Amino acid sequence: MRIILHVWRQKNASEPGRMVRYEVNNVNPHMSFLEMLDVLNEELVQQGEDPIAFDHDCREGICGMCGFMINGRAHGPEPGTTVCQLHMRHFRDGDELWLEPFRARAFPLIRDLVVNRSAFDRLIAAGGYISVNAGSAPDANAIPVPKQAAEKAMDAAACIGCGACVAQCPNASAALFLGAKISHLGLLPQGQPERYQRVLKMVSQAALEGFGHCTNAGECEAVCPKRIKLEVIARMNRDYLVAAVKHLGVKEAVEAGVG
Amino acid sequence: MELDSKCPSGPIETRWDRHKFELKLVSPANKRKYTIIVVGSGLAGASASATLAELGYNVKCYCYQDSPRRAHSIAAQGGINAAKNYQNDGDSVYRLFYDTIKGGDFRSRESNVYRLAQLSVDIIDHCVAQGIPFAREYGGVLANRSFGGALVSRTFYARGQTGQQLLLGAYQAMQRQIAAGRLTMFPRHEMLELVLVNGRARGIVTRNLIDGKIESHAADAVVLATGGYGNVYYLSTMAKGANATAIWRAYRKGAFFANPCFTQIHPTCIPVTGEYQSKLTLMSESLRNDGRIWVPLKKGDTRPPNQIPEEERDYYLERMYPAYGNLVPRDIASRAAKRVCDEGRGVGPTGYGVYLDFRDAIQRLGVNVIRERYGNLFEMYERLTGEDPYKVPMRIYPAIHYTMGGLWVDYNLMSTIPGLFVIGEANFSDHGANRLGASALMQGLADGYFIVPYTVGDYLASTKLEKVSTEQTEFRDAEREVAERIRRLLSVRGRRTVDSLHRELGKLLWEYCGMARNAQGLQYALKKIPELREEFWQNVIVPGTGEEFNQSLERALRVADFMELAELICYDALHRNESCGGHFREEYQTPDGEALRNDSEYAYVAAWEFTGVGNPPRLHKEPLVFEYAKPTERSYK
Ligand SMILES: Cc1cc2nc3c(=O)[nH]c(=O)nc-3n(C[C@H](O)[C@H](O)[C@H](O)COP(=O)(O)OP(=O)(O)OC[C@H]3O[C@@H](n4cnc5c(N)ncnc54)[C@H](O)[C@@H]3O)c2cc1C
Ligand code: SF4
Ligand code: FES
């Protein structure tokens, strides 16, 4: 099949970018989307042009490195699928597709479809962990964890940190990503001691990084390749409220806009 | 040079404890005066960086991805072994030790493997404390499953995302140390050279992948945790960026490379569909717990699988290996698949595939149980192939998956270069000629959380290290060498893309040094590889410049090193006149086609020394002594 692509080309953060049109012929429906770009890039290189830069590594939908917008949708049209696992059988001969990088204030552009998502690492550094040094743990079965809690924690822990939720959100909010980590750790007994400190620190770091506020648009859930549920945001908000009340008192918490 | 493995003697059960006691300690106040470089942020590198920082060292960690959380450990699906005996099914440290030595076909060190089995239990404790959401039973205790090569159930798992969860635990521990100011992370930095000062590893040269800047970094010790070199075959289950550059550069600087031909081929991967294929996807071995592997009894039977009646199917693993059945180790399952396909009984459009069928398990346990156990793997299979494995059997075929070989290290995980430690898949240490499933995660974390933090301390406490600065000539020379390599690659301006040359190298290796090898084929490959390397340096095209984000250049630098490594792999495979584990030499097999080991001549680690590009490497032997697990024929029948 034949696919027409319009791709955002931008050499680096300081030079202006633009959309460039390409035609890819002989696309095999069993190819992945990134394999189609590989084939196009091979041709570009043969012709002495710069290939399209895009991030990827595992190509198994788990490392979270890949991701760009296809026709305005992060990771493209298939629900629950990263762009590295998106196969061309989901497109039709002659389809015309627009590829753009994830755009958000907190994700500055590096080149073409590649952006810098280090802000996510700093959100985790703000408190997305359980403080335990190697060597100090009790026996693994000392604290039973109800199966249901473990399963729900795992649902949230499945987040791959790709940033699609931020890119799709009209406010470029990181709420789904934050909620996922806060829920994962907060659902487990091991995560309780730092539960309320964690939510305060991570949420305030998000504001510092330039992520927007969550207004419950729900766009994030629709594009999340790991199907992280909006309920993680609700959980985070509840924890934040409790934390703020504990920390600030009810009046200040309300004034600070918690809720 | 004599290879001293520094393995302790005495009863195996107490070797590590005694050794640990004898290791020198750095006083708490002095730790922060030492800087340690860790290259790699996979399970091995992340756990080592976090733990060294927790101890108070000043740590710098590097990875080529945009975040340490993306290291390829993230892709491990199935699980991690530990001798907890929570199932009360007769497991013990000794049994895990024995299974690992036997699984490795008696080509690994007893002392190392015993220590690994001991530490396995501490790993699970630590990971649970970090909040890893392992699978649980209804009573709240940890659940287990079985993996190939074992008759007990000792594998801990977090759905089909065990590697992801373990890595995120270690990554979060790193982030905690970053926030505490003891650890500095350098993402999108690729190590391109190792720097020695007075014969000791004292730093590295990196390229910043965003702007191309070549930079030196100095330290008191260097730890390489850069993963496996399976991508030398082009198609593998590795991440696209996985490379051998860090260990290859160290090899060129004098670190010995051990058992490079011990590569693992995983039996359950999704078959190749076309020339454009960029990588292969693994379907976890855990599927073999419930899936049954078969091919049609008749050659060229093209009926859809569900129309082939029971009596016309050959469940060949169950037939050939009744004791272990579908759970035989990987090397055996892979070779059996190759054999039935070579007989013309393979399935799918290319004839290189076998069925992995869940029909019986679904009948026995119900769809819901199967969905709970493997739901995400089934979904992944359907996403990739467009076929529903709940209804039609999966099609699978072996693919390059793991490299048991790697830089030679002693019991302290130090290479032949003083001050250079190597951990995780990048070293050769624990898996002999074949790794058992769920043992790599265990090894990476044992190395990183519980071994290297002590042994690096011992090195620092017992060595007088002069001050070094990145201004001195050793660093400047290394930077110049890197810049020159880049300039050469950019100036070729030939006609072939990096990928096309890499693909050709991969096909050559897969054909002559893949699942089955013979002297004639290896000699042919040894003639072809230098020619291809020449072609690479004469005819590669690398667009763009060195001073920008340039993914073609990144790949070219990696493939340039693969072009040299491929030759070493073939030398090693040719010299080892026996079959063992993943190394199957067709000349050495039993009448029924099983691997024929030669313990009297080859019970050693082959450690190779670099003697210049294009020159045959020099062989050093570390004899292997088996005091506990006596070598026997490795039977799974
Ligand atoms: C698909 C798949 C499934 C698997 N499933 C299992 C399983 O279920 N159980 C099990 O035990 N094992 C499994 N394995 C094996 C196991 O995952 C790996 O052996 C292990 O995770 C390797 O960890 P590592 O820390 O050594 O390296 P990796 O996780 O590969 O990390 C390598 C690190 O080095 C960095 N790096 C590499 N080169 C450079 C360079 N030149 N400069 C800077 N940084 C560099 C990378 O950025 C990365 O951070 C699986 C492997 C694969 C591929
Ligand atoms: S929540 Fe979903 S979309 Fe957002 S980073 Fe995680 S996996 Fe990606
Ligand atoms: S490349 Fe790893 S998730 Fe897509």
- Using DSSP's 3-state secondary structure scheme, residue A223 falls into helix
Residue A253 has pLDDT above 80, yes or no: no
CB A63 near ligand 3, within 6 Å: yes
Q: Is A228 in the pocket of ligand 3 (CB under 6 A)?
A: no
**Contact between chains at A31 and B497 (C-beta distance less than 8 A):** no
Q: What span, in angstroms and rounded, lies between the C-alpha atoms of B173 and B171?
A: 5
Which chain A residues are Cβ-neighbours of B139 within 8 angstroms?
A: 144
Type of residue numbered B485: R
Q: How many other C-beta atoms can be found within 10 angstroms of the C-beta atom of residue A131?
A: 16
Q: Which domain holds residue B323?
A: 267-400
pLDDT 10s digits, A12-24: 999 999 999 999 9
Distance, CA of B220 to CA of B467 (rounded, Å) = 9
Chain B residues with beta carbon closer than 8 angstroms to that of A184: 131, 133
- How far is the CA of B447 from the CAs of B25, B42, B46, B128, B192, in angstroms? 18, 12, 11, 18, 23
Average pLDDT, chain A: 95
Determine, for residues A144 and B139 on separate chains, whether the beta-carbon distance falls below 8 Å: yes
- Smallest CA separation from ligand 2 atom 2, residue: A224
CATH number (domain holding residue B307)? 3.90.700.10
Measured between CA atoms, the residue of chain B closest to residue A27 is: B276
Q: Name the pLDDT band for A259 (thresholds 50, 70, 90).
A: very low
* CB of B231 closer than 8 Å to CB of B242: yes
Which of these, B280, B258, B404, B425, lies nearest to B331 by C-alpha position? Answer: B404
Residues B525 and B583 in one domain: yes
Domain endpoint, select from A72, A87, A110: A110
Residue with structure tokens 């409790």? A242
Give Cβ neighbours of residue A159 (< 8 Å, ≥ 6 apart): A176, A177, A180, A181, A184, A224, A226, A228
- Considering A59, A84, A110, which residue would you say is the last residue of a domain? A110
Are residue B45 and residue B170 in the same domain, yes or no? yes
- The residue ranges of chain B whose pLDDT is under 50 are none
Whether residue B453 lies within 8 A of chain A, CB to CB, comes out as yes
Tally of domains within chain B: 3
The single-letter code of the amino acid at A218 is G
By the 8 A CB rule, do B274 and A30 touch?
A: yes
In terms of domains, do A49 and A148 share one? no
Q: Give me Rg for the CA atoms of chain A.
A: 21
Helix (H, G, I), strand (E, B) or coil at B155: strand
Q: Would you please indicate which residues of B are annotated as catalytic (active-site) residues?
A: 330
The number of distinct structural domains making up chain A is 2
Residue B1, SS3 per DSSP: coil
Q: Quick one: A251 and A125 in the same domain?
A: yes
CATH number at residue B566: 1.20.58.100
Residue B518 is given by DSSP the state -
CB contact under 8 A, B551 and A53: yes
Q: B34-79, pLDDT tens digit by residue? A: 999 999 999 999 999 999 999 999 999 999 999 999 999 999 988 9
One domain, residues B75 and B161 = yes
Shortest Cα distance, chain B CAs vs residue A217, angstroms = 27
Residues in chain B: 637
- A122 with A239, same domain: the answer is yes
Q: Both A22 and A147 in a single domain?
A: no
Structure tokens, B394 = 């999966």
At residue B607, the pLDDT reads 98
Residue ending a domain, choose from B400, B420, B453: B400
Do A80 and A181 belong together in one domain? no
**B78 in Cβ contact with B150 (< 8 Å):** no
pLDDT at A258 over 60: no
Q: Is the CB of A67 under 6 A from ligand 2?
A: no
Q: Among B17, B11, B29, which residue's Cα sits nearest to residue B450?
A: B17
B467 in a domain, yes or no?
A: no
Query: Per the confidence metrics, is the pTM higher than 0.95?
Result: yes
Clarify whether residues A135 and A196 are in a common domain: yes
Question: Which of B41, B431, B441, B71 lies closest to B264 in space, CA to CA?
Answer: B431
Asked if residue B272 and residue B221 are part of one domain, the reply reads no
A65 lines ligand 3 (CB under 6 A): yes
One domain for residues A72 and A124: no
- The model's pLDDT over A210-230, given as tens digits with 9 standing for 90+, comes to 999 999 999 999 999 999 999
Q: Do B83 and B119 sit in the same domain of this protein?
A: yes
Distance from Cα B332 to the centre of ligand 3, integer Å: 30
In 3D space, the residue among B594, B521, B423, B535 whose CA is nearest the CA of residue B37 turns out to be: B423
Last residue of a domain, one of A62, A89, A110: A110
Task: Give yes or no: residues A127 and A234 share one domain.
Answer: yes
CA distance A176 to A259: 16
Average pLDDT of the segment spanning A69-84: 97
In a domain, B329, yes or no: yes
Nearest-CB residue to B129 (from A60, A120, A132): A132
For ligand 2, whether the C-beta of A165 sits within 6 Å is: yes
Q: Looking at the structure, tell me whether residues B494 and B417 fall in a common domain.
A: no
Report the SS3 class of residue B149: coil
Asked if B245 and B373 sit in the same domain, the reply is no
Helix extents (H) in chain A = 33-46, 118-125, 147-157, 164-168, 175-186, 195-209, 219-223, 231-248, 250-255
Ligand 3 atom closest to the CA of B74, numbered from 1: 2
Q: Is residue B609 part of a domain?
A: no
**Does any domain span residue B621?**
no
Shared domain for B490 and B438, answered yes or no, is: no
Contacts of B273 in chain A (CB under 8 A): 28, 30
Q: In A12-100, at which residue ranges do the beta strands (DSSP E only) sit?
A: 18-24, 69-70, 73-74, 96-100
On chain A, the residues whose CB falls within 8 A of the CB of B50 are: 134
Distance of CA B624 to the CA centre of its chain: 21
Answer whether residue B298 is part of any domain. yes
CATH for A76: 3.10.20.30
Residues of A in contact with B543 (CB under 8 A): 45, 48-51
ipTM of predicted complex: 0.96
Q: What is the model's pLDDT at position A213?
A: 95
> CB A129 to CB B68 under 8 A?
no
Instruction: Please tell me the distance between residue A254's alpha carbon and the centre of ligand 1 in angstroms.
Output: 47
Q: Are residues B585 and B562 in the same domain?
A: yes
What is the rounded distance in angstroms from the CA atom of residue A173 to the CA atom of residue A104?
Answer: 9
How many C-beta neighbours within 10 Å does residue B440 have?
Answer: 28
Q: Are residues A22 and A63 in the same domain?
A: yes
A27 and A86 assigned to the same domain: yes
| Ligand 3 contact, A58 CB (< 6 A) | yes
Cα–Cα distance between A3 and A27 in angstroms, integer?
7
The rounded distance, in Å, linking the Cα atoms of B103 and B196 is: 37
Say how many C-beta atoms besides its own lie within 10 A of residue B245's C-beta: 23
Domain assignment present for residue B630? The answer is no
Tell the residue number behind the tokens 């907060």, with chain if given: A186
Which structural domain, as residue segments, surrounds residue A47? Answer: 3-110
Same domain, A199 and A84: no
Per the structure block, which two tokens stand in for B356? 């992995």
User: Domain holding B104: CATH number?
Assistant: 3.50.50.60
Closest residue to A150, CB basis, from B65, B126, B136: B136
Residue window 177-216, chain B: list those with CB within 8 Å of chain A.
178-179, 185, 187, 210
Alpha-carbon distance of A72 to A101, in angstroms, equals 10
Instruction: State whether B369 and B425 are in the same domain.
Output: no
A254 — pLDDT class (breaks 50, 70, 90) = low
Question: Which of chain B's residues have a Cβ under 8 Å away from the Cβ of A53?
Answer: 549, 551
Residues B417/B201, Cβ–Cβ less than 8 Å: yes
Instruction: Compute, in angstroms, the gap from residue A4 CA to the centroid of ligand 2.
Output: 28
In a shared domain, residues B352 and B443: no
**Within a domain: residue B634?**
no
Please provide the DSSP assignment of B363-402 as one string.
Answer: HHH-HHHHHHHHHHHHHHHHHHHS--TTTS-EEEEEEEEE
How remote is the CA of residue B356 from the centroid of ligand 2, in Å?
32
Nearest to A62 among B75, B131, B276 (CB): B75
**B217 — phi, psi (to 5°)?**
-135, 130
Considering the domain architecture, whether residues A129 and A243 belong to the same structural domain is answered as yes
The answer, yes or no, to whether any atom of ligand 3 lies below 6 A from the CB of A82, is yes
Residue where a domain stops, chosen among B400, B423, B447 = B400
Asked if residue B625 is part of any domain, the answer here is no
Residue A156 sits in a domain whose CATH number is 1.10.1060.10
pLDDT for position A250:
63
Question: B482 alpha carbon to ligand 1 midpoint, in Å?
Answer: 25
- Chain A closest CA to B522's CA: distance in Å? 30
pLDDT of residue B285: 82
CB contact (8 A) between residue B552 and residue A51: yes
Identify whether the C-beta of residue A65 lies closer than 8 Å to the C-beta of residue A56: yes
A226 lines ligand 3 (CB under 6 A): no
